[in-house]
Amino acid sequence: MAIDEKLEPVMAEIMRRNAGEDEFHQATREVLECLGTVIARHPHYAEDSLLERICEPERQIIFRVPWVDDSGQVQMNRGFRVQFNSALGPFKGGLRFHPSVNLGIVKFLGFEQIFKNALTGMPIGGGKGGSDFNPRGRSEGEIMRFCQSFMTELYRHIGEYTDVPAGDIGVGQREIGYMFGQYKRITNRYESGVLTGKGLRWGGSRVRTEATGYGTVYFLNQMLATKGDTLEGKKVVISGSGNVAIYAMEKIAELGGTVVACSDSNGYVVDEAGIDLDLIKEIKERRRERISSYPELRGKGAHHVTGGSIWDVPCDIALPCATQNELTGKDARELLKNGVIAVAEGANMPCTPEAVRLFQKAEILFAPGKASNAGGVATSALEMQQNASRDSWTFQQTESRLAVIMAAIHDRCAATAEEYGMPGNYVVGANIAGFIRVAEAMRALGVT
């Protein structure tokens, strides 16, 4: 899909002002490609530089993070927080600790977060942050000292009515705990709603760990239902083996599907009898080992592959749940050749533009991450509700709310795609529905 000629100057200016930030260019281009019919039908959305403003962060914060390793050497990393858009509520989005983190990555993630958060229907704006710190191989003490140093700067920019970070790649309950402890120490306030993804014993929400994976599968199931189909008996391949992948596997098994392959950064495992979820949890959540140990622990029938792509494994359904741009055009062609019928993004923008075009051309079901992986941030918002009311909900209560939210996101995307003449195109539906909600709020608030 090409950008409407009226919007080409907006894209050109984005590329000029944000040189070298390829992922950010990709994310903004995808949204602008969907907005030509919206602007033609509602020209007021192009007034007062609204498009330019929605693509420019309200605030970009970059800071150094000095910390001392176990040998007494001072290390230095870079920290980021991009507060992108607060028209709907306080900035909301995760913190990522990974060597690949830079400003362009954080901006792409923050931009996606605006529309993802809008699709939930909840009062939260979009932001993202993180650091190029790599927690892998670091001791507990080193991770604690890094997190404390990181929060020593970040604390002045966040708050339950300002900006509410959460976890992302490299940031789980442990890291959130260390950061929350430092925030409490500095501010002398037990402000539970300032961070989400907390432990259950100190303000966290049930289902938060499972939410993104569960939500992706809920969305997938809603898509299949539009074709009179279900997950029962389907063969599924999932990239990744972190929280998103693990809990997508769990929900797929509950709904009758069989996951036959999953991965980490060192390769992938194939188990035609079905991945043993308990064993994956033991390896990744408790032992914190590489997935290559799975075949030895599992026994006959499983094998580990270090070359090639996990998308070479034949399947009915593919869930890319690892990282951005992991599923390429070549991978998409292989999946289609092997008969894939549905793809749902569990990660943020894991399919390249070429892959998305191929899936849409083949008219298979395709769910963009800003819709299908919104379960994590939706449950973060539910955690904020519980913190604000000093309440704690049961697992069943919270999961029920999540299921309702994901069904509403699906229906909102489907109805919007239909309204704008592209039935079944969830990319168009998600981008337009998210854009309109944010744009209406921005217009109501004036030029800010």
Q: Which residues pair with 270 in a beta bridge?
A: 261, 303
Going by C-beta distance under 8 Å and a sequence separation of 6 or more, which residues neighbour residue 332? Answer: 311, 351, 354, 355, 358, 359
Q: Is 113 among the annotated ligand-binding positions?
A: yes
- Of 399, 416, 402, 342, the closest CA to residue 373 belongs to 402
167 labelled ligand-binding: yes
Place of tokens 């033991």: 282
Q: Which residues have CB under 8 Å from 444's CB, separation 6+? A: none
- Catalytic hit among 6, 107, 128, 198: 128
116 assigned ligand-binding residue: yes
Q: DSSP of 313-369, one letter per residue?
A: S--SEEEE-SSTT-B-HHHHHHHHHTT--EEE--SSS-B-HHHHHHHHHTT-EEE-H
User: Which pair of tokens denotes residue 427?
Assistant: 């990319």
Quick one: CA dihedral 312, 317, 321, 327, positive or negative?
A: positive
Write the DSSP symbol of residue 287.
Answer: S
**Residues 91, 192: Cα–Cα separation, whole Å:** 16
Say how far apart CA 428 and CA 80 lie, in whole Å.
Answer: 30
Task: Give the residue carrying structure tokens 């599968």.
Answer: 217
Quick one: 131 exposed, middle or buried, by C-beta within 10 A (0-12, 13-18, 19+)?
A: buried
> In Å, what is the CA distance from 199 to each residue of 173, 176, 244, 393, 402?
6, 8, 17, 14, 19
> Looking at the chain, how many residues does it have?
448
Q: Given the DSSP bridges, would you call strands 126-131 and 74-85 parallel, antiparallel or unpaired?
A: antiparallel
Contact 138, 56 (CB under 8 A): no
* Residue 92, marked binder: yes
Tokens standing for 348?
A: 């943020």
Structural element, H or E, at residue 151: helix 140-154
Q: Is 330 a catalytic residue?
A: no
204 appears as a binding residue in the annotation: no
387 marked as part of a ligand binding site: no
Q: Is 234 among the annotated ligand-binding positions?
A: no
Binding residue numbers for NAD(+): 212, 243
Binding residue numbers: 92, 113, 116, 167, 212, 243, 380
Which residues are the active-site residues? 128
Binding residue numbers for substrate: 92, 113, 116, 167, 380
